[in-house]
Each structure stands twice: as structure tokens, then as C-alpha cells.
Amino acid sequence: MRVLRFLLISLFGITTLTATLSAQAASDEDAWQILQKAAVAARALSYQGIFVCQSGQHSRSVQIKHLFNGQDEFSHNVVLDGAPREVLSRGGDLVIYNPKDEKVVIEKRRGQNMFPAILPTNLDAIKASYSLRAGEIERVADRQAQVLFLEPKDNLRYGYKFWVDIEYGLLLKSMMVNSKNEMMDSIAFNQLGLMNNVDLDWFKPKIDAQKRYVMEDEAPAQVDNNPSPHWMLNELPAGYHKVDQMLRTVNGKSFPVTHVIFSDGLASVSLFIEPMAKGVKPRVGRSVVGNTSFYSNVAGFLQVTVLGEVPEATVAQIANAVVFVK
């Protein structure tokens, strides 16, 4: 009888553990599906609203209109606080209207992920470096949202807390947190609604006839897929991969600057490599400004600078991965 009782208890315990693990696996998979939906919804839905960006003591409100017509994405962002600024984007192209004194500077840039489209549609890289779990249902912008905790598997990236609209699947709020679970910055809608009109009469900047408009392209860059004869990269921090490399022409510098971009699918880090000019003191050291970590060192005759909204350990590892080739 005691043996039978022991077997029943053991069997019940194993069955309960298996059921718990299965439920946890299903719960984790559900959470990833919600995050996947949020990544797609930000690009595939047409919506308008106002969101607030907060970092430290600074905050600003941004009005957004976003339209997907079945082929292309159109977005118009207007900064509502402080100096006026507008961003028009179509697909991967950005045009920024930035009033300065008596003129309006128009800048063209390559596409960047902007809220709420901050997640890649392919989450494989994120799954490799982060774990995800679901939290409670909370209210954001008068809408019900599923809370998700995206937690790093190491100390080479920050964590995130997401609020995803239960009905629309749209990301309503994003918060970046450090290893102590302290908020570093947040972006959140306080007004949001879907757009049913496909008219694009709003896809234009507000023109100030009293000012002249000046076009300023970003520093000219060309794709650089050729290995350098002067440097190479050793092992990168876990989870980070090179996503782009280019040569930039910078005013005041005699030689182009190599710009390499790394990402783990969410966090992004920039590496800059340039020959040191004669008579110029090399920059060596580290610092943190706001949420951005900086690290500079020297490899041979090359000045190496790394920066990104990641922990100091990450920029240091990437900078030290640059090896000078004699």
C-alpha cells in the first residue's frame, strides 16, 4: 500500500509538473505571438494619435498620422512641444523639416524605426537574446493593453516593458529599464484612433511662407562591403550582429569615416573608425550621457569610437573587438 501510495504521489507530481511546464510553454508562445502582432500592426494599420516621449526630466509630445494603403507606408510626425519639427516618412525614406532661425532646414535620412514601429517583423534575433513573459492587463490611452516583459538574458542589453492594445494589436507604450528595473525612458500614447480615410492630403509639411527652405542631406555615405586592410573584428558581444557598414564623408576630416552598425534585433550600436590626424590627441575613455554609452580607444593609427543606448560593457566589448592589422 505504501509503495502504491508513493507511486501515485510521484505520478501525480510528475503529471502536475508536466502540465505546469506545458502551460508555461503555451503562455510564453502566446506572449511572443502578441509581440509579433504588435510588430506587424505598427506597419499594417492606419492610425492617428498623440504620444509622449520621456527621458529623464525631459519630455515631449508628438502627433502622428500613419497610413498603409496596401502597398506603401506613409507617416507624418509633428513635435508639439518646444521647437517645431516635422518628420515625413514613406517606406524607408525620412524627410525632416527643422526650423532654425530665419530658415527651415530640410534633412533627408535613411529609414529609422520610429514608435510604435520599433520592433522588427522577424523576432528570431530578439528571441535569442531576450526572454518574454506576459503580465497583467492595464489601461493606456483609455484602452485595454496586455503588459509584456522583455528581459535580457545577460548584462549586454537593457530590458523592456511593452503595453500592447488587446483589440488593435498596436504597441501603446514602451519602457526601457536598466538592470535594477529602473525606467530609463518611455514612449506612450495618450490619444489613439484608427483612420478609415485613405486620402493623403495630410501628408505634407506646414509651410511658413516667411522663411526660406534649405536642403541639407545627411553626411554622404556609400556602402562598404570590402574588408579593410587596416583592421578586423574579433568576437562581438553575444547576440549582436553587423547589419550595415558604410563610408561617410565628414566635413573637416581628410579621410572618410567607416561607420558600422550592430544590432541584436532591438538595441543598436554604432562603431566609427577613422585614421588619426597628425597632431590631434587621441580620444581614450568612456562616458554615459543620458541613456547613451560612449567608449573610445585607439587601434594602431586608428581612432575607434562606439556609442549606443546599451550598457557600458557592450560598447567596451565592441571597441576592444577592433584589431589593428599591420
Residue 105: band (very low, low, confident or very high) from pLDDT cuts 50, 70, 90? low
**Sheet of 58-68, strands arranged across:** 130-140, 143-152, 159-165, 171-177, 183-194, 47-55, 58-68, 73-79, 85-90, 93-100, 103-110, 212-217
Q: Which of 77-91, 154-168, 172-186 has the lowest mean pLDDT?
A: 77-91
Q: Could you write out the three-class secondary structure of 50-88? A: EEEEEECCEEEEEEEEEEECCCCEEEEEEECCCCCEEEE
Residue 250: predicted pLDDT: 76
pTM: 0.85
Residue 23: band (very low, low, confident or very high) from pLDDT cuts 50, 70, 90? very low
Domain 219-324 belongs in CATH node 3.30.300.130: no
- Paired residues of 289 in beta bridges: 292
Dihedral of alpha carbons 11, 17, 18, 23, sign: positive
218, pLDDT greater than 80? no
- Is 293 in contact with 282 (CB distance < 8 Å)? no
Instruction: Name the strand (E) or helix (H) holding 7.
Output: helix 2-44
Residue 103: predicted pLDDT: 59
Domain boundaries along the sequence of the chain: 26-215, 219-324
Q: Could you write out the three-class secondary structure of 159-194? A: EEEEEEECCCCCEEEEEEECCCCCEEEEEEEEEEEE
210, pLDDT greater than 50? yes
Q: Could you tell me the CATH superfamily of domain 26-215?
A: Lipoprotein localisation LolA/LolB/LppX (2.50.20.10)
Residue 10: band (very low, low, confident or very high) from pLDDT cuts 50, 70, 90? very low
Neighbours of 272 (CB within 10 A): 16
Identify the three-state secondary structure at position 295: strand
- Is 205 in contact with 197 (CB distance < 8 Å)? no
